[in-house]
Amino acid sequence: MKVSVLTKASKGYGYGHLRRSNILSGFLNSEGISSQVIDITLACSEGVDGDVIITDAREIRTDELRKLLKSGRPVVSFDDTETFKPYSVSIMSLPYLNLWGPSPNYEGVDFLVLDPSILKFRTHECEFDVLITFGGEDPNNLTEFVLSKFAEVEEIRNFKVSVLIGILFRNKDSLRQRAERLGIVAIEPDDPTDVINAISKSRLVLTSFGITVYESLVLGKKVVLLNNSEYHELIFRKSGLTDFVESLGVYYEFDSLQFLEVIERILSDEDGFKMFGVNPFENLGRIKSLVERVYSSWDEEKYQCLLLHDVFCTYRGEGISEFFCKDCTKKLVFRF
């Protein structure tokens, strides 16, 4: 069996999709399943070579998906909220607000893709009180915003602070200079594990809602959120993490003095952390098992209608996806 993992990794898409795709593909290869990652912002999605196709690229346009289906292979989607599309399987590993279609086949942190090597970093000693990190791109420039706010508060120098300057940042030089003036250590990761290492050496992580939150919790860190938008704040509220994570709200509500109070309170509460139980190895094994079931259940001839006609999904459940074909006016069921 060969698996193709399709993602989008150019500016505007951040770095998270590519990281997750590489982790999943690497795990499948280590388990004897040939796998490759394809950035479809750079390569045509037509003619993708794989017995099973996995997409991790936000929403895949309907016309793009039609081209993929013409390959005759089942398509498994990660975190596309348009679940009515004719994906063979839909997985929502991250929280969401609205679905344009039926509930996904699987959802929740049991299908969250994290780097298994993260577990090796749990024993690292802390060098910093606070790590500031807003992903590999930080499209809303929250890093610069927070540093400018910290410049207004002399008390921030009472803490050991580091800041991550991501690989896709546009204003690296000015951020380095601003951090240096504040006595903040700038870290520029060359590799995804550098990010995990930086998290592991910090007691508290200031970030926005996303995969960094889960990585920090797995490493036993305390997390404070400063979100990009009301949408991200609402997703956090739905995530089930409110017992583990504290939010300062949306970035334009940020108050430096309030943040200092939060730092002092959280860092002084040594017994206040609740363990967050996600095992990256188990999650990847769960996804591998699902991919194997999809592969063994697939019959290209049987599902020609799904591949070639105007089809939409009407129901999804564990091990089953039901579709309706507008061309044939009939129901189609895929069990796996």
CA-angle at 111, arms to 28 and 233, nearest 5°: 135
Whether 155 and 91 share a structural domain: no
For residue 170, pLDDT beyond 70:
yes
Whether 128 and 248 share a structural domain: yes
For residue 12, pLDDT beyond 70:
no
Asked if residues 148 and 245 have their Cβ atoms less than 8 Å apart, the reply is no
Neighbours of 94 (CB within 10 A): 19
For residue 271, pLDDT beyond 80:
no
Mean pLDDT of 8-32: 87
Whether 27 and 86 share a structural domain: yes
Report d(CA 268, CA 283) in Å as an integer.
Answer: 33
Whether 95 and 131 share a structural domain: no
Whether 86 and 213 share a structural domain: no
Q: Which of 110, 60, 111, 107 is nearest to 86 (CA)?
A: 60
Mean pLDDT of 149-170: 93
Whether 156 and 104 share a structural domain: no
pLDDT in tens, 74-113: 999 999 999 999 999 999 999 998 899 999 999 999 999 9
Q: Residue 8 belongs to what domain range?
A: 2-114+281-335
pLDDT in tens, 303-313: 999 999 999 99
Q: Which of the listed residues 249, 277, 305 is the one where a domain comes to its end?
A: 277
Q: Which helix (H) or strand (E) holds 174?
A: helix 172-181
CA-based end-to-end distance of the chain: 16
Q: Which of the listed residues 277, 293, 313 is the one where a domain comes to its end?
A: 277
Whether 233 and 293 share a structural domain: no
* Residue 125 in tokens: 């000693």
How confident is the model at residue 47, as a pLDDT? 64
**DSSP tag of 108:** S
Whether 227 and 182 share a structural domain: yes
Asked if residues 130 and 115 have their Cβ atoms less than 8 Å apart, the reply is no
For residue 235, pLDDT beyond 70:
yes
Number of compact structural domains in the chain: 2
For residue 211, pLDDT beyond 80:
yes
Mean pLDDT of 205-233: 95
Whether 142 and 201 share a structural domain: yes
